[in-house]
Amino acid sequence: MYQIRLKNISDNYFHKAWKLYEDAFPLEERRSFNAQTHVMKKSNYHFNILMDENKFIGFLLWWDFETLKYIDHFATSTEQRNKGFGKLILEKFMESSDKTILLEVELPNSTINERRIKFYQRTGFKLNQHYYEIPPLIEDKKPLQLLLMSYPELLTIKDVKEFTDKCHPLIFKD
């Protein structure tokens, strides 16, 4: 398995990845096409597609900040799910990082959300219970409450505040 970093919406596989992005995430958790075009120009943003034997497996969209890496969005294609690729992708990402890694999950208020949290926990992520929300990605909507998961350790309230103060303005502004 290998990854390719896309830097432009005209790159090969972008539209295939974008279709998966739209299918895998609810509207309130994803960027608009225009916002995605803009964010891809940022040097610390990575839009990585994952390939195996020339087959599109999925994507890992992440930010590289000074003290942490933040997984913005992660999905495997429906054809490649339940084959161990998701776990392998995350494990390789975690092994290659000497920084704390963060990702967001929806509240555990449904079976699918609980399963997703357990999947991340099996790979080594810790579920933080501090209150956390992201600014609305859609105009005229309210902030969205989520939970942060972190690797290798749990976060303090101070860590969460520092992440939202320093990183949110970069992640959530066009």
pLDDT for 173 equals 80
What was the pLDDT predicted at 140? 86
Pairing of β 100-105 and β 68-76? parallel
What is the C-alpha to C-alpha distance for residues 106 and 114, in angstroms, rounded to an integer?
Answer: 9
Looking up residue 10, the CATH number of its domain turns out to be: 3.40.630.30
Amino acid at 17: A
What is this structure's pTM? 0.95
What is the mean predicted confidence (pLDDT) over 118-139?
Answer: 95
pLDDT, one tens digit per residue, over 7-33 is 999 999 999 999 999 999 999 999 999
Tens digits of per-residue pLDDT, 87-108?
Answer: 999 999 999 999 999 999 999 9
Strands 2-6, 126-127: pairing is unpaired
The number of distinct structural domains making up the chain is 1
Question: Which tokens belong to 97?
Answer: 């990082």
Confidence (pLDDT) at 174:
57
E strands, the chain, are: 2-6, 45-52, 55-64, 68-76, 100-105, 126-127, 132-134, 144-151
75 CB-contact burial (10 Å; exposed 0-12 / middle 13-18 / buried 19+): buried
Over residues 131-174, the pLDDT tens digits come to 999 999 888 889 999 999 999 999 999 999 999 999 999 999 85
Mean pLDDT calculated for residue range 109-124: 97
Domain that holds residue 165: 2-171
